[in-house]
Amino acid sequence: MAATDLVRASTRVAMVWPHTAIVQRDIADLRAAPSTESELVDQPHMGENVRVLGEDGDWRYVQGPDQYFGWVPVDHLDILSGYGEAFVVAVLLASIRDAPRSDGMVIARLPTGTLIRPIYTSIQQPDGSYRRIAYEHPPGWRETRLGRGRSGYVAETDLVEIDQLPHRYPTAADYLKTAESFIGVPYLWGGTTALGLDCSGFVQQVYRLNGVALPRDADQQAVLGRKVEVARAGDLMFFGADSVTHVALATSATEFIHAPMKGGAVEHHRLGPERKLRGIRRYLPDPSAP
């Protein structure tokens, strides 16, 4: 990596961690609006996890395991507010080194948002049973397993504890703060990290880092959420001559951030004749909902 790339890789990335809830009814009706008279859009089942993204009175706006969005009564959910010991990569790219030293050889890199789970070891008790205890990491470092018996070390300065992240509903402002961290990242067809991003990979990661799951491709993203006529910050704009072939994150009704094309980089842009706007989709509750 060049020196400028190393600086970019160490950029702290804004993110939020919405609460997860477990469905506690046999079948939970997911509605298009917070009303029992509203259209039924999906049905999460007992024991499934949903992400809680908004509220309106006794209703919660959630995203289910199949990525649909909708409203469900709060008493159908068991909302989890506690978090175990775990870390999340908080920079664009965190280096994994072969030793817990800043001059250790880089053997892998972890993209922002990667979960670093705790490591446990077992010790044998006098009665022959085993007790699991937390692994003691070298000061300032977290060891992580890479598979096939390999492990490496990530500097704690590149991580944040999950319980230190904001645990609340994501907002359009959160999307924009996250997106700004990727400005200048080169375009890469199929890319989803700060080493390179394509248009749908970029918006997918921005949403993911704020607790919202989107499909991988732009045409798939264009069928979730709900259609709106005028964009506001945080919406997605979809472009294409005959079908959806490009997506961007709106920053206003006429401006956006996107990963443009081969040879380009994530940048600010505005609506113009070079791209045909085919539609706008919104994935969070409208401002009228608290």
Of residues 130 and 245, which shows the higher confidence score?
245
pLDDT at 71 over 90: yes
Q: Where in 4-48 does DSSP place strands (E)?
A: 20-23, 30-31, 40-42
- DSSP code, position 281: E
pLDDT at 288 over 60: no
pLDDT in tens, 160-188: 999 999 999 999 999 999 999 999 999 99
19 is catalytic: no
pLDDT in tens, 13-29: 999 999 999 999 999 99
Kindly tell me the number of DSSP H helices and DSSP E strands found in the chain.
4, 24
pLDDT at 215 over 90: yes
Overall average pLDDT of the 216-231 stretch: 95
- Domain 172-282 classified CATH 3.90.1720.10? yes
pLDDT at 192 over 90: yes
Of residues 10 and 278, which shows the higher confidence score?
278
258 is catalytic: yes
- Phi, psi at residue 151, to the nearest 5°? -145, 165
Q: What is the largest CA-CA distance in the chain?
A: 76
Of the candidates 45, 137, 167, 258, the residue annotated as catalytic is 258
Please say whether the beta carbons of 52 and 170 come within 8 A.
no
21's CB contacts (< 8 A; 6+ apart) are 49, 50, 51, 52, 60, 62, 77, 78, 79, 80
pLDDT at 241 over 60: yes
Of the candidates 19, 137, 199, 268, the residue annotated as catalytic is 199
pLDDT at 132: 65
Sheet containing 20-23: order of strands: 40-42, 30-31, 69-73, 59-63, 49-56, 20-23, 77-80
Overall average pLDDT of the 221-233 stretch: 95
Domain covering 20-80 in this structure, CATH number: 2.30.30.40
pLDDT at 75: 95
pLDDT at 148 over 80: no
Pairing label, strands 106-111, 93-97: antiparallel
Of the candidates 45, 246, 268, 269, the residue annotated as catalytic is 246
CA separation for the pair 198, 32 (Å, rounded) = 31
Provide the residue type at 252 as one letter. Answer: S
pLDDT-derived band at 149, boundaries 50, 70, 90: confident
- DSSP code, position 221: H
pLDDT in tens, 243-287: 999 999 999 999 999 999 888 999 999 998 888 899 999 999 986
pLDDT at 159: 96
Each domain of the chain, given as residue ranges in start order, spans: 20-80, 85-163, 172-282
pLDDT-derived band at 136, boundaries 50, 70, 90: confident
pLDDT at 290 over 70: no
246 is catalytic: yes
Domain covering 85-163 in this structure, CATH number: 2.30.30.40
Of 104-108, 111-115, 144-148, 206-210, the least confident: 144-148
pLDDT at 81: 82
pLDDT at 1: 53
Q: Would you say the CATH fold of 85-163 matches that of 20-80?
A: yes
pLDDT at 86 over 50: yes
pLDDT in tens, 116-129: 887 766 676 777 67
